[in-house]
Amino acid sequence: MLEEYNIDELNPRPNHYAKELKKQITIKLAPFVIDYFKEEASETGIPYQTLMNLYLVDCVKKKKKLNITWKSH
């Protein structure tokens, strides 16, 4: 093993998984939503944040749209 490597001489390969990496964000959710996914996590053994991501990925793939109607007073 060399003591030093010249980075310019290395032949880096593109990371095909880079586009699949997750991005950390901050989001405000209702406590009952978090509780729901935590309960699902305890039943499935899948971390709750992973379950949330899987659900949202499913929504994106199926191009689900929200059907929201506001009640007028």
Domain count, the chain: 1
70 occurs within a structural domain: no
19-60 pLDDT, tens digit per residue, is 778 889 999 999 999 999 999 999 999 999 999 999 999 999
Please give the pLDDT value at position 49: 96
In a domain, 53, yes or no: yes
Asked if residue 36 belongs to a domain, the reply is yes
The domain in which residue 45 lies consists of 29-62
Task: Return the residue matching tokens 């309960």.
Answer: 39
pTM for this model (two decimals): 0.68
What is residue 68's three-state secondary structure? Answer: coil
DSSP 4-64: ---GGGS-PPP-TTGGG----------HHHHHHHHHHHHHHSS-HHHHHHHHHHHHHHTT-
